[in-house]
Each structure stands twice: as structure tokens, then as C-alpha cells.
Amino acid sequence: MEATGSVGKAPGPRVLVVGGGIAGLGAAQRLCGHSAFPHLRVLEATARAGRIRSERSFGGVVEVGAHWIHGPSRGNPVFQLAAEYGLLGEKELSEENQLVETGGHVGLPSVSYASSGARVSLQLVAEMATLFYGLIDQTREFLHAAETPVPSVGEYLKKEIGQHVTGWTEDEETRKLKLAVLNSFFNLECCVSGTHSMDLVALAPFGEYSVLPGLDCTFSKGYQGLTNCMMASLPEDTVVFEKPVKTIHWNGSFQEAAFPGETFPVSVECEDGDRFPVHHVIVTVPLGLSTFSVGSLLGLSLSSWRLCRMKKYFCVSPKCSEE
């Protein structure tokens, strides 16, 4: 079965966005505002827009997906959108907040507690923060290095921390507390880097991460307000929900009944058998997808997908599968 879009037959390339999260919605917003792209469709696998979700069933706002804007300043497109939609407060929008240089690190908590309920010394937390973030800054120095001492950021951090631990002279309980605090910083860094483990983050390219100024800020009414506003800005029926994509077929001559005589180089096949012949595809997939599943989705062999990753392809086109 071939799925026809609800758009008219006006001339112009047909573009399909795979993924209705914030990246996919952002791409759709940009294209919808351009007259050169009259035929646009977004396919989202689930029943809602991406993984950003603000839950209000607990007596307040609980973020299940994204939690805060990291580096809220003029160079951050998420901050710009949130400001445009009036989702931020006066403090978050102030020039003072936007100019604060944090070094890309999350601010320290005002108070910390151990699992026993005992309050942890702020001095101890600050000491471990200085150690941890000092090592994080060191990892960025390997960006242009010919070789790295270990493959991942996690391995490097643990190796360096292990060397520091041998020099600690405190009692056993204090040493354990320090390690627990460091483990908390590891978990927080996983949130910032979008990974389950820093062992999965390669050391060599880690320095490419751009650090923007600005104090991290939250949405008082929930982060989901941003994706709700983005959805509302798109033409009706642009996003098709519960439409998981199975694979993408490249370099073909695909046809559709609604466009007699016209051929399309790409066909996007969904799990339910529907196919969407298009000229261009923008793929926005979750970071958590494995190398194999992404390669399968793109219709590439595992070796071809690895080549794409090495060449840093992010906007996918038929040319990607040719090389």
C-alpha cells in the first residue's frame, strides 16, 4: 500500500521528517516557513510528540523527559524558541543570566544528603565537584590528539579518579562518601551528555561539545509547553502519530497514484506496510538507538552506517547511501 499525503499537487519537492520530537518539529517548522517546500509530512512512531513530557499527576510538574535548558543564551535555539513563546520568567530572560559563564557544568546543589539521611558537608561536595569537573575539562584536550590513553570518557575519568583516591588520607567512611558524591556527578554528567554511561562516550571527539553561557533554567509550567507550541505552529495534519518507520529505500524510481508520471528517489516504509515516496528525508532518531537499529532504519549495511558516522552525516540524503 502506498500512502498519499493530504497536501495538494502544487509543484515542489516532497520532504518527509522521520521523528516527531523537538528535532523533527524544529525541522518541520523551518521548512513550513519556506515556500520552496509545499509538501511536508512528519512521521512519529508514538502517540505523542517525542520524549519531552511534563507530568502533572503528582501535585506539581514532574519532567519525565528533558528537564532544563542547558546554556540558556542567545546562541541556544531552544532558549530562543522558549523566549519567543513566552515560556520563561523575567529572571531567566535577563541579560545577567544569559551572560554567566558556567563552563558547561551544572551548578552545585544548595544542600546534599546521604542515603542515610545525614546532611553532607557542602565543602566536601564542592571539593569533589572541583575534582570531577577539572577532569571533565581535561578530557576536551584530546580533541586533536593523534592517540588517546583510553577509548572513552568514562574510562579516563575512572582511571584518573583512581589515582586521586590513593592519595586520600581520610577515614574509610569519608572516602566512601567522597566516592558516592563522585558517582552522583557521574550520573549527572550522563544526563547532560544524553547517555546511560560515560563509558559509551568516545574520548577523542568529546572536546567538540560546544559550551554556551547562561545559568541553566527550567520551565515553570513544564518543558512540554515548548513542543506543544511547536506543534500548534504547524499546519494541521503535518504530523502523523503512531506511524513507526521500518526502513528507508534509497536510489529508486518510486511512484504514487496521486502524482502520475512522477518518480521519487526515496521511499519510506512503515511498520504497517504504508509507503511514502518522497524526494528528501530528514531522519531525527533518539540518541539511544543502537548502531544496528539505526543502520537498519536507514536501509544501510552495518559497514555503510559506520562510514556515515565517521563522516559525520546527520542530514540523510540518497548520496549518503552511495558512498
User: 290 versus 224: which is more confidently predicted?
Assistant: 224
CATH of domain 12-104+218-286: 3.50.50.60
pLDDT reported for residue 319: 38
**CB of 64 closer than 8 Å to CB of 54:** yes
Give pLDDT, residue 72. 93
Euclidean distance between CA atoms 107 and 138, whole angstroms: 19
Nearest by Cα to 139 from 177, 107, 108, 105: 105
Q: What is the pLDDT of residue 199?
A: 94
Q: 92-130: per-residue pLDDT in tens?
A: 999 999 999 887 777 777 788 888 888 999 999 999 999
- Boundaries of every domain in the chain: 12-104+218-286, 112-200, 288-317
Distances (CA, A) of 8 to 34, 40, 99, 302: 16, 11, 47, 38
What's the whole-number mean pLDDT along residues 36-57? 90
**Confidence check: pLDDT of 310 > 50:** no
Q: What is the pLDDT of residue 106?
A: 76
Cell numbers of 314, please? 546527520
Q: How many CB atoms lie within 10 A of CB 169?
A: 6
Contacts of 284 by beta carbon, 8 Å cutoff, 6+ apart: 17, 18, 19, 21, 23, 24, 27
Beta-strand relationship, 54-55 and 245-249: unpaired
The tally of CA atoms less than 13 A away on the side-chain side of residue 54 is 16
pLDDT at 321: 39
The pLDDT of residue 293 is: 56
Give 159-176 pLDDT, tens digit per residue.
999 999 999 999 999 999
Average pLDDT for residues 141-150, to the nearest whole number?
Answer: 92
For 51, which DSSP code?
A: S
Locate cell 532518531: which residue? Answer: 285
What's the whole-number mean pLDDT along residues 30-50?
88
